[in-house]
Amino acid sequence: MNKLMKKSLKERLAILSDAAKYDASCASSGTSKRDSLGSGGLGSTEGSGICHAYAPDGRCISLLKILLTNFCIYDCAYCINRSSSNVERARFSPDEVVWLTLEFYRRNYIEGLFLSSGIIRSSDQTMEEMVRIARDLRTIHNFRGYIHLKTIPEASAALIEEAGLYADRLSINIELPTDAGIGKFAPEKRPDNIRRSMGELRLKIEEMAEPTLQSKRRKKFAPAGQSTQMIVGADGASDATILGTSSRLYGSYGLKRVYYSAFSPIPDSSKNLPLIKPPLIREHRLYQADWLYRFYGFSIGEITASRTDGMLDLDLDPKLAWALGHRDQFPVDVNGADKERLLRVPGFGTKTVKGILSARRFRRLRLDDLKRLGVSLRKVQPFVTAEGWTPGRLADRSDLRAMFEPKPEQLSLL
């Protein structure tokens, strides 16, 4: 028996779910150990490999998030699973992944599978095994849960196409924000090939979404679309560069989502990588900025103009940072402003704006009405006028920024 298979299934699950945490798709979960697998009991809090992600309909769902294997023939400098890394290795067989998915699903631990993998032998062989897992789940076991497959770099177009028949979502990792970064840190990967695969996938998704002439029905092909992942902080790319790359990917390939993954430093100075993990808050700010670009009508230039180094302000969310730098555009009248202007008010989300537009058809809105819509008055007061409210000089106060900055924390002496 293969040495890698000698570890028990549970041991391999621990290794391969831990290895999958670097694949951004969700926030991992799990608390203290309490597990009913094999005991006849019910439920588990251990949750090895279980994470949460948002389904296309906006529901938060739990997924079994694992790698098929963390063995890899590539040597991407930023990756813990690279061939030269000395991490503990493990591998599942396709049948084991199918079994685990079904068992977790039957026990109600998960609503779907997120599967990624290192590359074993060749890209096509690995991709073939991943496709087989998705195919067996769908066609043999009639599995109706959500499946997200990470495609393998350089896998053939035919295999990626087949994967789309069974997976809800496919992702092709762009890896790093610039081609130069990929050339330096992942020299076995070809940015042109990554983009070509994304382009082919987009065409296929669009082609299959068209109703056929005969049946008038659409074929099911990666119905939740494609996404990608970008490592943040491994190369020196600024937030402006990262977001610029994202905007091009959204525009050119119809991506549903770019996932930002804060680089986890690997203690190997020979790889010439930073040894300090970028703060998770940077990842969070990038998601917020990405959101402003996609749903709030901001351009990347507007979002990143507040600092000369092209980095986002870590202390303030990007919309608030923009508003503080553009005070001449405020206050915004909640009873008269159009949707585009309302969307620029810090503290107003898309749902809030919808609620305001609908409620003001019947009456003039006061601050209390905004409160009822779930708005933080502290955040919006300097930026809006409403019935009975005008911010007066509040919006011009020189210490307005300080009012929103996080309070310094007293370090514990113990």
Q: Is residue 127 involved in binding ligand SF4 (CB under 6 A)? A: no
Q: Is residue 81 involved in binding ligand SF4 (CB under 6 A)? A: yes
Of 68, 69, 75, 74, the C-alpha closest to 89 is 69
Q: Strand pairing partners for 406?
A: none
- Asked if residue 119 lies in contact with residue 73, where contact means CB atoms within 8 angstroms, the answer is yes
C-alpha 59/C-alpha 320 separation (Å) is 27
- Asked if residue 246 lies in contact with residue 230, where contact means CB atoms within 8 angstroms, the answer is yes
**Which residue, 82 or 282, has its beta carbon nearer to ligand SF4?**
82
Phi, psi of 167 (to 5 degrees): -90, 150
**Which residue, 272 or 412, has its beta carbon nearer to ligand SF4?**
272
Q: Is residue 273 involved in binding ligand SF4 (CB under 6 A)? A: no
The contact pattern for ligand SF4, residues 161-190, with x = CB under 6 A and - = no contact, is -------------------------x----
SS3 169: strand
The contact pattern for ligand SF4, residues 386-405, with x = CB under 6 A and - = no contact, is --------------------
Q: Is residue 74 involved in binding ligand SF4 (CB under 6 A)? A: yes
Token pair listed for 400: 């307005």
Residues 185-224 that bind ligand SF4 (CB under 6 A): 186
Q: Is residue 118 involved in binding ligand SF4 (CB under 6 A)? A: yes
The binder of ligand SF4 chosen from 65, 82, 91, 169 (CB under 6 A):
82
In Å, the largest CA–CA distance within the chain is 77
Q: How far apart are CB 193 and ligand SF4 at their closest, in Å?
A: 13
**Which residue, 61 or 73, has its beta carbon nearer to ligand SF4?**
73
Kindly indicate which of the ranges 79-87, 197-205, 289-297, 396-404 contains the residues binding ligand SF4, using the contact rule CB under 6 A: 79-87
Kindly indicate which of the ranges 73-81, 131-139, 158-166, 287-295 contains the residues binding ligand SF4, using the contact rule CB under 6 A: 73-81
Kindly indicate which of the ranges 71-79, 208-216, 261-269, 395-403 contains the residues binding ligand SF4, using the contact rule CB under 6 A: 71-79
Q: Name, in order, each residue with C-beta under 8 angstroms of 199's C-beta and a sequence gap of 6 or more.
A: 252, 253
Q: How far apart are CB 150 and ligand SF4 at their closest, in Å?
A: 9
Q: How far apart are CB 22 and ligand SF4 at their closest, in Å?
A: 8
Token pair listed for 211: 């109703």
SS3 60: strand
DSSP assignment of 247-271 equals: HHHHHHH--SEEEEEEPPP-S-GGG
Q: Is residue 130 involved in binding ligand SF4 (CB under 6 A)? A: no
C-alpha 137/C-alpha 115 separation (Å) is 13
Q: How far apart are CB 137 and ligand SF4 at their closest, in Å?
A: 23
Q: Strand pairing partners for 60?
A: 54
The binder of ligand SF4 chosen from 63, 119, 249, 343 (CB under 6 A):
119
C-alpha 31/C-alpha 177 separation (Å) is 34
C-alpha 286/C-alpha 242 separation (Å) is 8
Q: Is residue 370 involved in binding ligand SF4 (CB under 6 A)? A: no
Q: Is residue 65 involved in binding ligand SF4 (CB under 6 A)? A: no
Query: Looking at residue 398, what DSSP letter applies?
Result: T
**Which residue, 79 or 240, has its beta carbon nearer to ligand SF4?**
79
Q: How far apart are CB 276 and ligand SF4 at their closest, in Å?
A: 20
C-alpha 38/C-alpha 120 separation (Å) is 31
The binder of ligand SF4 chosen from 79, 255, 320, 334 (CB under 6 A):
79
Question: What value, to the nearest 5°, has the Cα angle with vertex 31 and ends 27 and 32?
Answer: 155
The binder of ligand SF4 chosen from 13, 20, 50, 72 (CB under 6 A):
72
The binder of ligand SF4 chosen from 66, 76, 127, 258 (CB under 6 A):
76
N residues, the chain: 414
Token pair listed for 371: 């409160």
Token pair listed for 225: 């679309």
Q: What CA–CA distances, in Å, run from 68 to 133, 139, 150, 282, 343?
A: 10, 20, 11, 30, 43
* Interface with ligand SF4: number of residues (CB under 6 A): 10
Kindly indicate which of the ranges 36-44, 72-80, 237-245, 312-320 contains the residues binding ligand SF4, using the contact rule CB under 6 A: 72-80
Q: How far apart are CB 328 and ligand SF4 at their closest, in Å?
A: 46
Residues forming the site for ligand SF4 (CB under 6 A): 72, 74, 76, 79, 81-82, 118-119, 153, 186
